[in-house]
Amino acid sequence: MPGGATGTGIGPQNIGLLIGMAVALAIVLLRNRQARRLRVEILWIRPVIFLALTVASLVAEPPILTPLALVIMVVGLALGCALGWQRGRLMHIEVDQATHMLRSKASPLGLIFIVVLLVARFGLRAVMAQYAREWHLPFVAVADAFLLFLVGLLSVQALEMWLRANRLLTEARAMPSTFD
């Protein structure tokens, strides 16, 4: 069934999704042209919200915890953490020397990184739709692994940004101001 219910081809649903992603990508590109204020004191909020939603999802529909399912979910979380650290490193953070206000700007490389992740997700989804039964992979565990991947990505990205922003802020406060 090319492009149909299996999700492996370019069907009407996938075309709509691709158009939506293209629009979202354009918005993100326009938004990221300028640095925005970085408030380190609230970096924890988004990861906590996603963690709460993931826990609620896992409680509402608990995964069947087979050894294979556990491995799949741990790998998803570990990959999310690793890629979150990398994505956090790609964020440009600067400190205004006069006001000590932090500003951040997503790098173009960071945006390419997200696009690659989205493409990889679609590719993995197509492979899973085609081979999951043949490989005896638990579909629910793979879906839960994507949730854990997202939580790891967002949490560790925020952690890396928080650590770096605090280090930069400490260094900026230690430097003598030229405005004294």
Contact 113, 86 (CB under 8 A): yes
38 or 27, greater pLDDT? 38
In this structure, the number of other CB atoms found within 10 A of the CB of residue 143 comes to: 16
**Confidence (pLDDT) at 79:** 95
**Confidence (pLDDT) at 65:** 85
**Confidence (pLDDT) at 6:** 47
Does the pLDDT value for residue 77 go beyond 90? yes
- Residue spans of the domains in the chain: they are 38-174
**Confidence (pLDDT) at 11:** 62
Does the pLDDT value for residue 110 go beyond 80? no
Mean pLDDT of 166-179: 82
Least confident stretch, 4-13, 89-98, 104-113: 4-13
Mean pLDDT of 6-25: 67
Helix H or strand E segment including 91: strand 91-95
Taking the whole predicted model, whether its pTM rises above 0.75 is answered as: no
DSSP lists the bridge partners of residue 37 as 103
**Confidence (pLDDT) at 3:** 44
Does the pLDDT value for residue 94 go beyond 70? yes
**Confidence (pLDDT) at 165:** 94
Contact 157, 46 (CB under 8 A): no
Least confident stretch, 46-55, 66-75, 93-102, 135-144: 135-144
Comparing C-alpha atoms, which of 126, 138, 92, 134 is closest to residue 111?
92
∠ CA 70-75-79 to the nearest 5 degrees?
155
